[in-house]
Amino acid sequence: MSDSPKEYAFRLLNFRDRSEKQLRNKLLEKGYTEAETQQTIEYLKEAGLIDDSRLALNLLMYLDGTKMAGTKKAADTLRRRGIEDNIIQETLSTLINGSSDVLLYGYCREGEIEKAKIFVKKKEDYLKNNPLRVKLNKLYGMLLRRGFDAEIIAEVLKEVT
């Protein structure tokens, strides 16, 4: 190990933002001790270089605007990135309850419906040669995998028929 834990962490953060858990795991995998790892994490938190709340907000903005993911998919993605459930719920509730001016569509009911409609519209050409029942089944599965709630999917698919 030629790098100090801080140098290694800086290199990792240079590529992309990481959650505290991701960074901790990477440092431990590299062979640094628990004490070195904890000290590095504390230093980076104090310096503002790792902030799970900020990361959660940035990822939710990306998943909303670029990936047009539903709430369930977004929360699952954040969990896989190592962000704790309480931070996920806090960030989502903040976005749903008012300060969603940073989002393109949003994670409220209206935003979810809008994203689902856009997704269905994009898939129309791909599915146009299928019988209606097959088309609806495929769309239902696609929307479900994107993290949309079954109630929202049903509402959006009513317009397809």
Higher pLDDT pick, 160 / 29: 29
Closest-CA residue to 96 (of 75, 76, 116, 81): 75
Range scoring the smallest mean pLDDT among 38-42, 67-71, 105-109, 150-154: 105-109
Are the C-beta atoms of residues 71 and 64 closer than 8 Å to each other?
no
pLDDT at 75 over 70: yes
In this model, does residue 135 exceed pLDDT 70? yes
Q: What is the rounded CA–CA span in Å between residue 160 and residue 139?
A: 10
Q: What is the pLDDT of residues 5-18, one digit of tens each?
A: 999 999 999 999 99
pLDDT in tens, 63-72: 998 999 999 9
